[in-house]
Amino acid sequence: MALGWLLWRFAGFGPGHFLILGGAAIAPGIWAASVVARETGSGDPAIVVIDEVVGQWIALGGAAVFNWKSWLAAFVLFRLFDIWKLPPARQLDRIAGGVGIVFDDVASGIYAALVLRAAGWFNLY
């Protein structure tokens, strides 16, 4: 979130930029998560955070406008959907390696972005 805020504040990033950035980070994220999972022998190593970054940036891509409420909502919504793991996120989480590590967070980010966008249509933030 801190990096995202800096990109918004000082580089003029908007929601579309975060969608592009999140999408662009998927492939390298899968590769990195796969390498770390293989080297550590863990299915979902806690030291891998690129999946969280990708999911959070996708969530930010759903904002209609950026203000403190939309930043907070994007964070909370992504965290909730990441914990709840609604289908198909739960099924994606079961895929071995980097694909499973990253894509459950991509799904959670998409859910959060959709809810955030809908809330923006109703001027809730």
Spatial separation of the C-alpha atoms in residues 61 and 69, rounded to whole Å: 14
Is 56 in contact with 99 (CB distance < 8 Å)? Answer: no
C-alpha distances out from residue 114 to 32, 49, 80, 88, 111, Å: 27, 22, 14, 15, 5
3-class state of residue 101 by DSSP? helix
- pLDDT for residue 52: 98
pLDDT digits (tens, 9 = 90+) for 60-93: 999 999 999 999 999 999 999 999 999 999 999 9
30-44 tens-digit pLDDT: 999 999 999 999 999
Give me the chain's average pLDDT, please.
97
Report whether the peptide linkage leading into residue 88 is cis, meaning its omega lies within 30 degrees of zero. Answer: yes
Q: How many domains does the chain have?
A: 1
**Structural domain harbouring 113:** 2-121
What's the pTM?
0.95
